[in-house]
Homo-oligomer: A and B are copies of this chain.
């Protein structure tokens, strides 16, 4: 199943989509399992057949989304020669996703996972930030990016993107995000690129 695609197939998928929507609208803790049940048009019994409990439902959403994001990033990295092309593709991806599926971005980037899944062994040890930092480390090797702490480079390159999404989701920005792709990209890239 893919979260980027709302054509629901199985009842299990319906539950996952309904849960994610409600988590976005009201927050994980304010969403009751019965609301999820209702929105997914499914009985509680069935819901509990598919998912051990509410937390496992959230975990499933999280790990599915995490995996989809990792796949996306990896294919972006694979399909672009330069770090600068990667960066632009990632910003574009983020902005488009934020407009089409704010609930996904919100859950991946802004949700408080440790609060929701307290005993969580990290579902997957290498997350999107690590992929990005690795890509940037390579770009430093080959002289495309200035040498600096990889975390600082990652924050400089995508911090503004993420902050702008936060503004947008919070209603502090009314224009659609894709309007700003070029501007944000150039500004951010400039800040870490090796000067000519």
Stretch from A59-67, A71-79, A186-194 that touches the partner = A186-194
Whether A163 contacts B162 in the complex (CB less than 8 A), given A27-B115, A151-B173, comes out as: yes
Whether A115 contacts B29 in the complex (CB less than 8 A), given A151-B172, A152-B184, A187-B192, comes out as: yes
Q: Inside 8 A of A184's CB, which chain B residues have their CB? A: 152, 155-156
Do A155 and B183 touch across chains, with their CB atoms under 8 A apart? no
Do B152 and A180 touch across chains, with their CB atoms under 8 A apart? yes
A42 within 8 A of B: no
Q: What are 27 A-B pairs at a CB distance below 8 A?
A: A26-B115, A27-B112, A27-B115, A29-B115, A30-B118, A110-B112, A112-B112, A129-B167, A148-B183, A149-B175, A151-B172, A151-B173, A152-B164, A152-B180, A152-B183, A152-B184, A154-B163, A155-B160, A155-B161, A155-B164, A155-B167, A156-B184, A159-B159, A159-B160, A159-B163, A187-B192, A190-B190
